[in-house]
Structure 1
Amino acid sequence: MKIGIISDTHGILKEEVIHTLSTCDYIFHAGDVGDQEILRQLESIATTYAIQGNNDSDSLGLKERLEIEIAGYQFYMVHDLKSEKILPKGYDFVISGHSHQFDLHYSSKTTWINPGGCGKRRFGLPLTMVRLHLEEQVHIELLTLSK
């Protein structure tokens, strides 16, 4: 099973991102979606879970946080991890966005993933996304976009 993890599209869904997500069973969007059309495009590719980012309007109808279980794994998703008063505990994966910078680290039994931004290049950072493989062993694949 593969989960495509993206964030900070800000209304831009690049062909390279669409192509990569087309191989995924699920898509997680960690906020700053941009508009409803992005959500429609993602849903046409695979089952999509998205949360509201600080630049998303309430009209998108997204929650600020989500708890999801897939294949026995517990996921928690929030746009800006620094906005959490208490860091989430007890999850297999915590997914966040906001910084536009890829981050991967481990703490106890939790894997913390920020896929970086994959919309418009910001802060001089590369455009990145993550593909999470949930197989016999978990494999996290960082993908750097060409443009």
Structure 2
Amino acid sequence: MLRVAILSDTHGFLDARVEALVATCDLAVHGGDIGNAEVLQRLRPRQGRVIAVIGNNDLPRKWLPEQAQVLDGLREHEDLMLPGGTLAVIHGHQLAARNRHERLRRRFPQARAIVYGHSHRLIADRDAQPWVLNPGAAGRARTFGGPSCIVLDAAEHRWALRIERFEPLKCHGRSS
């Protein structure tokens, strides 16, 4: 079995509770809108492997100049071979919100599950194959109830999900 931490939409800030959870997993998958290189450096899964895709806010002009070269190594989408199937990863801004899950399923029919971000809305749509998963926002911007992520336990004959949502961070008397 392989334990995968799935997160997205950090926008330059990784919640410490999500960071600690990632450290208990074998690998980490970031669905884009990373925000800076430090976020990727702080992701330290047990096997040390971090897979990330570019989000619509991951532009060289939005990153510090000395960090922008990190973006050169990131792609628009990734297909990860895991025990029991393929995990497709894309930020999701490439597809209109209307019927996004249907469109993702048509685009990645070979996948067992599809990860996307962009909306910051935590969703685990297992109503059809492939599953469509949005881990929500793992930072502090637009967390809609608190920072979140998904843990996937991938085995050859069974995939299981665990949704993780943390209490919102208090910022200047307000919560996110």
| Smaller-chain TM-score bracket | 0.7 to 0.9
Task: Return the letter of the residue paired with 2:165.
Answer: T
The two structures have a TM-score, normalised by structure 1, of 0.88
Name the larger-Rg structure.
2
Task: Provide closer, same or farther for how the CA distance between residues 81 and 109 of structure 1 changes in structure 2, counting only shifts above 3 A.
Answer: farther
CA positional deviation for 1:36:
1.1
Percent identity over paired residues: 26
The two structures have a TM-score, normalised by structure 2, of 0.75
RMSD of aligned alpha carbons: 2.2
Distance 2:13 2:35 in 1: 8
Contact 2:9 2:117 in 1 (8 A): yes
Q: Tell me, what secondary structure is at the counterpart of 1:83?
A: coil
Task: Return the letter of the residue paired with 1:133.
Answer: D
**Could you tell which deviates more after superposition, 125-134 or 91-100?**
125-134
Counterpart for residue 31 of structure 1: 32
Distance 1:16 1:26 in 2: 16
Counterpart for residue 70 of structure 1: 82
Counterpart for residue 129 of structure 1: 149
Counterpart for residue 14 of structure 1: 15
Task: Provide closer, same or farther for how the CA distance between residues 14 and 124 of structure 1 changes in structure 2, counting only shifts above 3 A.
Answer: closer
Unaligned runs of 5+ in 1: none
Counterpart for residue 109 of structure 2: 89
Distance 1:16 1:108 in 2: 31
CA positional deviation for 1:126:
3.0
* Paired positions, count: 147
Counterpart for residue 99 of structure 2: none
Task: Provide closer, same or farther for how the CA distance between residues 54 and 125 of structure 1 changes in structure 2, counting only shifts above 3 A.
Answer: farther
**Could you tell which deviates more after superposition, 54-63 or 97-106?**
54-63
**2:54 equivalent to 1:42:** no
**Could you tell which deviates more after superposition, 48-57 or 77-86?**
77-86
